Amino acid sequence: MNTVDVPVGEGTRVFLNFSVSLEDGSEVDSNFGGEPVDFVVGDGSLLPGFERRLFGMSPGQRQMFTVPPEDAFGQPNNNNVQVISREHFDEEAELEIGLLFSFADAGGGELPGLVVGFDEEEVTVDFNHPLSGRTILFDVLVHRVEPAELH
């Protein structure tokens, strides 16, 4: 298939490898060593703060960049920490701080919640994204860029 060499921009399909790390150096995710992932810039599937930093990159280019919380997963929101009656949990459930539960959201999807506290009657669950409030470090290698309509 013939591809047109274009830089990353709105409406392009990008094939890349990436890693996601935190400021302390811990790696959260990576697909280096695997097949590149592809996506269409502007389709809403990626963090806008990540997408914007890809603009202008070309095939073969590798770049590291930092995305602050405001452009990544946002700051933690106290309204996303909920106190739920213990009766909503399975009686057999052995609760512990840091345990991740999956809850149904209003749209029928799944919403992860982290147990941050509990007693005999209530469970405190944090529904903030686990990376909220964190600065994210990306390492990106662009393999191919093409107009999205080629697919």
Same domain, residue pair 46 and 63? yes
CATH number for the domain including 19? 3.10.50.40
Beta strands in the chain (DSSP E): 12-22, 27-30, 37-40, 62-67, 81-85, 100-104, 110-118, 122-126, 136-147
Specify the amino acid at residue 91: E
pLDDT value at position 4?
63
CA-CA distance, 72 to 29, in Å (whole number)? 15
Mean pLDDT calculated for residue range 127-148: 95
Query: Do 58 and 7 contact (CB within 8 A), yes or no?
Result: yes
- pLDDT of 11 reads 92
**pLDDT tens, 8-66?**
999 999 999 999 999 999 999 999 999 999 999 999 888 889 999 999 999 999 999 99
Structure tokens at 22: 């935190």
Q: What is the pLDDT of residues 64-107, one digit of tens each?
A: 999 999 999 999 999 999 999 999 988 888 899 999 999 888 88
119 in a domain, yes or no?
yes
| Cα–Cα dist 63/51, whole Å | 13
State the residue range of the domain holding 110. 78-126
Give domain status of residue 6, yes or no.
no
According to DSSP, the residues that pair with 15 across neighbouring strands are 38, 144
What is the Cα Rg of the chain in Å? 20
Residues 26 and 63 in one domain: yes
pTM above 0.85, yes or no: no
Name the average pLDDT for the chain.
92
* Judgement on whether residues 27 and 99 belong to the same structural domain of the protein: no
**CATH code: domain of residue 120:** 2.40.10.330
Order of all β-strands in the sheet with 110-118: 81-85, 122-126, 110-118, 100-104
Check residue 108 and give its pLDDT. Answer: 87
The answer on 23 and 53 residing in a single domain is yes
Q: Are residues 60 and 86 in the same domain?
A: no
The SS3 assignment for 116 reads strand
* pLDDT greater at residue 2 or residue 27: 27
Residue 46 and residue 19 in one domain? yes
